[in-house]
Amino acid sequence: MRVRAAVLEQFAQPLVVQELDLAEPRAGEVLVRVAACGVCHTDMYTASGVDPSGYAPTVLGHEGAGVVEAIGEGVRSLAVGDHVVTLFSPQCRECVHCRSPKTNICLAIRDQQGKGLLPDGTTRLSRDGEPIRHFMGTSTFAEYTVMPEIALAKVSPEAPFDRACLFACGLSTGLGAAMYTAKVESGATCVVFGAGMVGLGAVAGCRLQGAERIVCVDLAQERLERARAQGATEVMLGGTDAVDAIIDSTGGFGADYTFEATGLVGVMRQAVESARMGWGLATMCGVAGKGETLDVIPRYLITGRRVCGSSFGGVKGRDQVPQLVQRYLDGDIDVDAFLSHRIALDEVNKGFELMEAQDGIRSVIELGG
């Protein structure tokens, strides 16, 4: 079939919306009609050419939600008409990682996905007979996409697509960091550095876990107001004094749980240093620049602080994304607050501009039909 898609032709150049060929789903694959797709930093990062693992041409996009249009041979967990959220972090339910409750990092298709191929080592996307590679296993800046069954979460059909798509990346990453990676306890004191999509999600996750104090730190007053609306009990302007201010306000000890959601290694260090002596856990969500390292004075660790990283919030996508979407439908998570702009596929580059200008939290591409 012919589909309209936003193609990264050349790094550091605007995406070009055009028609491509999309082949039928093969065994274990699913054809999805994309109804909505968020524009995320990772798309922009890859488009910029800074990502060392990036490639072009490719169809970007990974925050998708839509409807199953057709299934390939052997697909059992999904049927035509199901509503789905796309997962750049799949869940095969069979590999050694999927069988462990300790991680959400599925091993099944990592290598092929990283190369821009579907699990059988080929692409469904092409142009004039030339294969076009997939991106993050999703390529959802398109009217339709073909994806592995194990990379689709079946969600409630009651969730509007423009909200459901936010669970495909940033929102689940933040919520999950608090709920599944750190497993924040009720009554805890938490600090979240960064109040973008990920940090605001972490604030909401801490609230859902019953944290007593949730301090959000950001440089932008407007974003701190958003953090309050998500459940932050205190807000603070970031900067070099942030650690001292947190230590002071916690009786000299630091917070039970800290979260970093900025991608800045200096802030990661602050998250470690503002975690409590004895048991404080600092969770890193941000993606740092290539070659950057996190500087930690070992004494912080021997006195009981712990550091961990969180990919996609530790969320096991097929099992837990539907649960998070349900919590939204139950009224526990205010997703509307994150949806700042609705744009058409042709306006995808405007989505990048809005993000660069820190205008709102998320732009969502709405696709026809």
Ligand X SMILES: NC(=O)c1ccc[n+]([C@@H]2O[C@H](COP(=O)([O-])OP(=O)(O)OC[C@H]3O[C@@H](n4cnc5c(N)ncnc54)[C@H](O)[C@@H]3O)[C@@H](O)[C@H]2O)c1
Which spans in 134-291 are helix H?
161-164, 170-176, 197-208, 221-230, 242-249, 265-273
Q: Rounded to whole angstroms, how far apart are CA atoms 123 and 108?
A: 17
**42 catalytic residue (yes or no):** yes
Residue 232 near ligand X by CB under 6 A: no
C-alpha–C-alpha distance, residues 307 and 285, integer Å: 11
Placement of tokens 């709102």 in the chain = 360
* 106 in active site: yes
The residue annotated as part of the active site, out of 29, 33, 40, 143, is: 40
Q: Per rule CB under 6 A, is residue 198 in the interface with ligand X?
A: yes
Choose, from 41, 207, 226, 269, the residue flagged as catalytic. Answer: 41
230: contact with ligand X by CB under 6 A: no
Do the beta carbons of residue 93 and residue 318 sit within 8 Å?
yes
Judged by CB under 6 A, does residue 223 bind ligand X?
A: yes
Is 62 tagged catalytic?
yes
Closest-approach residue to ligand X (CB): 196
How many residues belong to the site for ligand X (CB under 6 A)? 29
CB under 6 A: which stretch of 111-119, 128-136, 139-147, 281-289 binds ligand X?
Answer: 281-289
Work out what residue 85 binds among ligand X, Zn ion, none; the CB cut-off runs from 5 to 8 Å by kind. Answer: none
Active site residue 216: no
Interface with ligand X includes 87 (CB under 6 A)?
Answer: no
Among 199, 205, 231, 314, binds ligand X (CB under 6 A): 199
**Active-site entry in 37, 98, 165, 206:** 98
Residue 199 binding: pick among ligand X, Zn ion, none (C-beta 5-8 Å cut-off by kind): ligand X
In the list Zn ion, ligand X, none, the entry touching 312 (Cβ below 5 to 8 angstroms by class) is ligand X
Cβ count within 10 A of residue 107: 14
Which residue is catalytic, options 42, 140, 173, 189? 42
161: Cβ–Cβ under 8 A, 6 or more apart, which residues?
35, 36, 65, 66, 83, 366
Binding mask 39-68 for ligand X (x = CB under 6 A): --xx--------------------------
Q: 264: part of which helix (H) or strand (E)? A: none
Q: For the chain, give the number of residues.
A: 369
Tell me the C-alpha distance between 209 and 182, whole Å. Answer: 10
- For residue 243, give Cα distances in angstroms to 65, 239, 300: 39, 9, 13
The item of ligand X, Zn ion, none sharing an interface with residue 287, based on CB under 5 to 8 Å by kind, is ligand X
φ and ψ at residue 348, rounded to 5 degrees: -55, -35
Strands 213-218 vs 189-193: parallel, antiparallel or unpaired: parallel
Find residue 306's DSSP bridge partners.
281
Q: Binding ligand X by CB under 6 A: which of 98, 165, 285, 325?
A: 285
Question: Which parts of 30-59 interact with Zn ion (CB under 5 A)?
Answer: 40, 42
Closest CA to 8 of 62, 89, 86: 62
Q: Which of 106, 165, 216, 285 is catalytic?
A: 106
Which one of 151, 267, 275, 339 is in contact with ligand X (CB under 6 A)?
A: 267
Token look-up 């649960």 returns 323
Which is the catalytic residue, given 95, 103, 133, 327?
95
Whether 233 and 192 have beta carbons less than 8 Å apart is answered as no
- Specify the DSSP element, H or E, that contains 342: strand 339-344
Contact 146/75 with Cβ under 8 angstroms? no
Whole-number Å distance between alpha carbons of 152 and 85: 6
**Closer Cβ to ligand X, 29 or 260, answer by number:** 260
Touching Zn ion, residues 83-142 (CB under 5 A): 92, 95, 98, 106, 108
108 interacts with, out of ligand X, Zn ion, none, CB within 5 to 8 A per kind: Zn ion
Reduced to 3 states (helix: H, G, I; strand: E, B; else coil), residue 251 is: coil
By annotation, the residues acting in catalysis are 40-42, 62-63, 92, 95, 98, 106, 110, 169, 362
Instruction: Give the binding site for Zn ion (CB under 5 A).
Output: 40, 42, 92, 95, 98, 106, 108, 169
Instruction: Give the binding site for ligand X (CB under 6 A).
Output: 41-42, 169-170, 173, 193-199, 217-220, 223, 238, 261-264, 267, 285-287, 310-312
